[in-house]
Amino acid sequence: MKILLVCAAGMSTSLVVNKMKKALGPDEQDWIIEANPAERFSSIFKNYDVILLGPQIRFKKDEFEKMASEYDIPVGIINSVDYGLTNGEKILNFAKELYKNKNKN
């Protein structure tokens, strides 16, 4: 699976990415988790299976979700407490749930 974290500047989001990678299970080691600034979204989002937005750019959700929905890519906002605590395991589980539930709507 390929997970994109979208952020404002990328400082704290890179910490979240590292924690998420550490939380990957043995059969998930080939997963790709990357962070990119919101300005790059339109040129890269199609390359991912799940998109997570940092809490600081939650206002972009409708715009990004509209683009991503054309490619059946779920978009979610990372819980601000999990983000602040860089709880990689919880955020990774959130991404997995989004992916698992994408066709249940």
Residues annotated as catalytic (active site), given as ranges? 7
- What are the CA-CA distances from residue 101 to residues 9, 52, 97 (Å)? 29, 14, 6
75 φ, ψ to 5°? -125, 130
d(CA 96, CA 66) in angstroms, rounded, equals 20
